Structure 1
Amino acid sequence: MTDTDLKATFWDRVENVNVGMLSADGTNPRPMAHHAHRDDGALWFLTADHTDIGKDAAAGKSARYQIASGDAKIYAFVDGTLSVETDRAKLEEIWSPMDAAWFEDGKDDPDVRLVRFTPKTAEVWASDGTAKALYDMATSAMGGDTASPGTHGKITF
């Protein structure tokens, strides 16, 4: 699979993932729900201004986002940078009823921070799915070959 193909697979599958683990340099990872937007080349997060992620985004820190989803058939760690976005139209675009649960005044809450995570590089494992992986492992074991349950590679955005 080429870098371009793996990148397309990444964006296709990450859209089907709800939550990963986000951490800026020097902080522990924390579960965060993302909004994937291939056209922006970004993963978007909503957080409160006073949180570590809100402060790290305001400082433009480097960060890592870790994804592990058997359902979406993707495992990855993505390195990039955080920034705060103030575009109200972008907030309106990504806002969901689930986001409203975190903010007393909804998207008008003064504590809402729209965070852009701009990926730079990633290491991605795109599996073929459980049934295919099990079949591959069984046939490899019987044939003395090494199993290959999917695609693995590094990509640059």
Structure 2
Amino acid sequence: MALLNDTSPQERLWDMIRDIRFAMVTTRHNDGQLRSRPLTTQNRSIDEGAVLWFFISRSSELAADLRDDGAVNVAYASPDKDRYISLAGFARLSDDAARKQELWNTATQAWFPNGPDDPDVALLAVHIDHAEYWDVESSKMVQLFKMAKAAMTGQRPHDMGEHREVRL
């Protein structure tokens, strides 16, 4: 299947992330359980390379989980547009003051009223090791038709959308 707008898979991935913005970040808690928390992606462009940025509280349970194990999964979903992203990588806390200032915005101010210089405010940098996305281009009606046809013929539905593993 052709790429939308003839963009590279990397550009398509970043376009989808920018459009969705809210991610579920999954970490391993010290009791071994996987825990997911919603965070807002702060990246504004593909120029960020293979790093996602989030603001978090240094005193949060999320930060404690990351001190024990930095492996994370970041998932994005836009069911209304049939777009899904799964990213695996390694997370670390960052105190980069210049990056905090660059990414700071009014929505972040609502969560951290003492501003970017508050010692409890940290940036979470997720270095992506593996990226994968699914993007269904056809309408719901076309999808339903393809699934009904597959059910009738006993064959899996074809051309349900674009699925890519992306190298960053």
Q: TM bucket by the smaller chain?
A: 0.7 to 0.9
Where 1:35 maps in the other structure, the secondary structure is coil
Where in structure 2 are the equivalents of 1:7-156 lying within 5 Å? 7-26=10-29, 27-36=34-43, 37-41=45-49, 42-58=51-67, 61-71=70-80, 73-128=82-137, 131=139, 133-138=140-145, 141=148, 146-156=157-167
Distance 1:72 1:140, change over 3 A: closer
Which sections of structure 1, spanning at least 5 residues, go unmatched?
none
Which sections of structure 2, spanning at least 5 residues, go unmatched?
none
Deviation at 1:9, TM superposition (A): 1.0
Inter-partner Cα distance in structure 2 for 1:72 and 1:86: 35
Contact 2:27/2:69 (8 A) holds in 1 = no
Contact 1:136/1:147 (8 A) holds in 2 = no
Contact 2:28/2:69 (8 A) holds in 1 = no
TM-score (norm 1): 0.82
Distance 1:147 1:141, change over 3 A: farther
TM-score (norm 2): 0.77
Identity of aligned residues (%): 25
Distance 1:48 1:141, change over 3 A: same
Where 2:129 maps in the other structure, the secondary structure is strand
Where 2:107 maps in the other structure, the secondary structure is helix
Deviation at 1:109, TM superposition (A): 1.7
Contact 1:59/1:83 (8 A) holds in 2 = no
What is the number of equivalent residue pairs in this alignment?
155
Distance 1:149 1:61, change over 3 A: same
Contact 2:41/2:52 (8 A) holds in 1 = yes
The RMSD of aligned alpha carbons is 2.8
Inter-partner Cα distance in structure 2 for 1:28 and 1:59: 13
